[in-house]
A and B are shown apart, each in its own frame.
Chain A
Amino acid sequence: MSFLTVLIAALFYLATAIFVLGVLYRIWRYARTPAPLKIATTPAPVTKFGVVLRMFREVVFFESLFKSNKLLWILAVLFHYGLALVLFRHLRYFLDPVPLVVELAQPFGKYAAFAMVLGLLGLWARRFLIDRVRYVTAPSDHLMLALLVLIGLSGALTTFVAHTDVVALKDFVLGLMTFDLKPLPGDPLLVIHLLLVAVLMIVFPYSKLLHGVGIFFSPTRNMVDNPREQRHVVAWARKLEEENS
């Protein structure tokens, strides 16, 4: 087994552990932190089912962003939908046999990489061109975009320019999942691609990428608008009541 294979494998075990535990920790922290007051941004749904629909529209269609800024919305959709398709396409490396729907998605997933990178470049351009966005941009915002663009480009290059040995790659991935290491094809583009993905997974729970988790816990979006009908009191507020009612 080559040193490279062991290194990448070890890195991915580490990255996966950090990613999973980090995200779980965040979820646990958000879930544990009480929301003492009803603060849905209204008009808001008056039923739980309505809230599910609102959240669905927010997560899938970026409803609020659409209200805010159409160009930004288009760029965000290009990137996120592109990424989603690309990720879906990647399932073929993880599943054996490959399900039909993943098979069917392959051509779309291939070109989705371009949508993803295009969206990212558009989002990046905003950080230079719009004075307001430039003002709030930190170095880490540039780095994050650079990381994602490089992941997209290196991945697209292995698909469209310097083909990687996908059969060997799949063996490697399946081996990773079953703790039965197989050699990793050694082409540099693939190695770069994998390294960057591991970095992304590692920074995810500690960065603004957490927005993907946070949105589900956002009280302005996930609360039912029923404060008059149902009394809402959290534990620390109830304690306050007991102390000095």
Chain B
Amino acid sequence: MAKANFEVPEITGVTEVPEIQPDSMAHLETFRAKPEFMEALGYPGEMPENWKEKAIEAMGDMLKKYRSLQVFLDACVKCGACTDKCHYFLGTADPKNMPVARQDLLRKVYRRYFTLAGKFFPKLVGAIDLTEEVLHDWYNYYHQCSQCRRCSVFCPYGIDTAEISMAAREIMDRIGVGDKYCNEIIGKVFRIGNNLGLPEPALADTLEGLEEDVYDETGVRVRYPLDEKGAEVLLVTPSADFFAEPHVDGLMGYGKVFHEAGVSWTLSSYASEAANFGMFIGSYENMRKISLRIRKAAIDLGVKRIVFGECGHAWRVAYAFLNTLAGPFDFLDPKYPVPQHILEFTWEQIQAGKLKFDKSANDDMVVTFHDSCNVARATRMGDKPGGQFEIPRNVIKAVCNNYVDMPEGTIKEATFCCGGGGGLLTDDLMELRVKGAKPRMDALKAATDEHGVTHMAAICAICKSQFTKVIPYYGFDMDQIVSVHQLVSNAIILTGQEDEGDDEEDNAEDAA
């Protein structure tokens, strides 16, 4: 078990709602961005003298631009339906991590400055002045929200705390108070093209290495092209896929699927990042700037389709916002949605009978699937609502013999965030990340105890990084986390492959 300088919650398989422990997470303050990183994103480097006026002004501006913010700040009746829904509250017991209380941090100030009741009867309606302490709470607790939208599923008015925390981060950025993790990463995307800051030669080197690995393993020359003009598909994937386990195994899988499907594809060094941290900080402008890189890459490379790799928040920006931010994509092939998810692509190929699998290659595992929060509650795959739940499971079941779900209430639209989403995947928030993972760990334990689950598949770079880092605290092993396309990669039989399984034909029929 990993060492911790905080108390790691005990997991039982069932997540109990804790008694509130006020301010139990008040100490956790993520590092602030240095002035140069703030300025690179168009924000002031330091807090101005009149920061209060500026903050209220920014809030007023956001209220005019975002109906969500205006309606959500007004509509809450404090019914408490959301109070036991946030994984961070369930894991930390800090009441300011209850969605309504997190919203109230902003709402109380909104009421004071923007509503009649708050201007005249602040005490009565719980309105407060903006002070340094309030700003401190904003900073700490709006960086304890992973924008996973679980609360929004259960709110009778659909109030989405993600919208509030995004707005709060934008307001803080506008007064020079930004967090280091997100803002530095966005700067890297602008300078280099991806979150990890991998330059073109490093990417080319990695991809060449992958080609060799796949050749050594299968005897088949599968290509992993970079900046190849005229390819049919531009694949945009999180940069973790170039870099870390188990992400890179997923990337190997994408390449094998494209190879077998006979569809030419390429990565782009200019748009070598699927994730869009502009969303995390609630900045339309920055989100748009990052998105436009993908548009430019697609035009420059002359592709016909855009496909996104496994990534959760990235798929939200791609699926729900890309057309808005960087469209219209009328220069692409109108036969396909823009963009597509790699799982939509793979599932289509499986249904068309283009892919052959030896499912027994995954027989050493009993697999469960972690629905990534933003895929589950902010996007879709395929034509039908809920395709985002079905298609990943269909693909897993097509390549694995042993699949089980975790308990109801912890999957699909009620899925728990991994604990590291929304721009919190930084070591200085490790306590929050470990505690926030508790509900998922409980569910995994339940599935392990009941069904002997050995592996949990994920389709998000953040989920994968977070889990591999955090599950050792709970007594699991980091190798238990796999990419869905890693499972595909294990089972796929490449045309002309050496060392094919004996029962290949049977399984190929199953899969088709």
Partners in one complex: yes
- A33–B75 CB distance below 8 A: no
Interface 0/1 of B307-333, CB less than 8 Å to A:
000000000000111011001100000
Question: A3 near B: Cβ within 8 Å?
Answer: no
Interface 0/1 of B140-153, CB less than 8 Å to A:
00000000010011
Interface residues on A, range: 35 or more
Q: Taking CB as reference atom, which chain A residue is nearest B151?
A: A68
Bound form: Cα–Cα A141–B124 in Å: 9
Bound form: Cα–Cα A58–B153 in Å: 11
Question: B486 near A: Cβ within 8 Å?
Answer: no
Question: A64 near B: Cβ within 8 Å?
Answer: yes
Interchain nearest-CB distance for A112 vs B (Å):
21
Q: Which of B64, B78, B160, B323 contacts A39 (CB 8 A)?
A: B160
Interchain residue pairs with CB less than 8 A apart (15): A38-B320, A39-B163, A41-B149, A42-B413, A43-B413, A44-B380, A64-B158, A132-B95, A132-B98, A140-B124, A206-B117, A211-B156, A218-B158, A221-B157, A230-B323
Question: A69 near B: Cβ within 8 Å?
Answer: yes
Bound form: Cα–Cα A45–B384 in Å: 9
Chain A residues 71 to 129 lying within 8 A of chain B, measured CB to CB, are 72, 76, 123, 126
Residues of B contacting A214 in the complex (Cβ-Cβ under 8 angstroms): 71-72, 74-75, 157
- A130–B126 CB distance below 8 A: no
- A46–B385 CB distance below 8 A: yes
Question: B116 near A: Cβ within 8 Å?
Answer: yes
Interface 0/1 of A43-72, CB less than 8 Å to B:
111100000000000100010110111001
Residues of A contacting B52 in the complex (Cβ-Cβ under 8 angstroms): none
Residues of A contacting B386 in the complex (Cβ-Cβ under 8 angstroms): 43
Known contacts A58-B156, A139-B125; 20 further A-B pairs (Cβ under 8 A): A41-B158, A41-B160, A42-B377, A42-B385, A64-B153, A64-B158, A65-B81, A65-B156, A132-B95, A136-B98, A137-B78, A140-B125, A143-B124, A214-B157, A215-B75, A220-B158, A221-B157, A225-B380, A227-B320, A231-B324
Residues of A contacting B70 in the complex (Cβ-Cβ under 8 angstroms): 29-30, 33
Number of B positions contacting A (CB below 8 A): 75
Question: B288 near A: Cβ within 8 Å?
Answer: yes
Bound form: Cα–Cα A22–B384 in Å: 40
- A139–B75 CB distance below 8 A: no
CB within 8 Å for A220 and B379 given contacts A30-B71, A140-B126, A211-B76:
no
Interchain nearest-CB distance for B101 vs A (Å):
5
CB within 8 Å for A219 and B68 given contacts A41-B153, A42-B377, A67-B153:
yes
Residues of B contacting A4 in the complex (Cβ-Cβ under 8 angstroms): none
Interchain nearest-CB distance for B143 vs A (Å):
21
CB within 8 Å for A41 and B65 given contacts A33-B70, A137-B78:
no
Bound form: Cα–Cα A237–B149 in Å: 24
- A210–B125 CB distance below 8 A: no
Q: Which of A65, A69, A138, A240 contacts B125 (CB 8 A)?
A: A138
Bound form: Cα–Cα A64–B68 in Å: 18
- A221–B158 CB distance below 8 A: yes
- Chain B residues close to A by CB (< 8 Å): 17, 19-20, 22, 63-68, 70-72, 74-85, 95, 98, 100-101, 104, 115-117, 121, 123-126, 149, 152-160, 163, 284-285, 288, 319-321, 323-324, 327-328, 337-339, 376-380, 383-386, 388-389, 413-414
Q: Taking CB as reference atom, which chain A residue is nearest B118?
A: A206
Q: Taking CB as reference atom, which chain B residue is nearest A135?
A: B95
Bound form: Cα–Cα A44–B75 in Å: 21
Interface 0/1 of A19-45, CB less than 8 Å to B:
000000010011001111111011111
Residues of B contacting A69 in the complex (Cβ-Cβ under 8 angstroms): 80-81, 154
Q: Which of A135, A137, A233 contacts B98 (CB 8 A)?
A: A135
Residues of A contacting B78 in the complex (Cβ-Cβ under 8 angstroms): 133, 136-138, 141, 208
Bound form: Cα–Cα A215–B378 in Å: 19
Residues of A contacting B155 in the complex (Cβ-Cβ under 8 angstroms): 64, 68
Question: A13 near B: Cβ within 8 Å?
Answer: no
- A64–B154 CB distance below 8 A: yes
Residues of A contacting B383 in the complex (Cβ-Cβ under 8 angstroms): 46
Q: Which of B66, B75, B380, B389 contacts A35 (CB 8 A)?
A: B66
- A39–B385 CB distance below 8 A: no
- B323–A232 CB distance below 8 A: yes
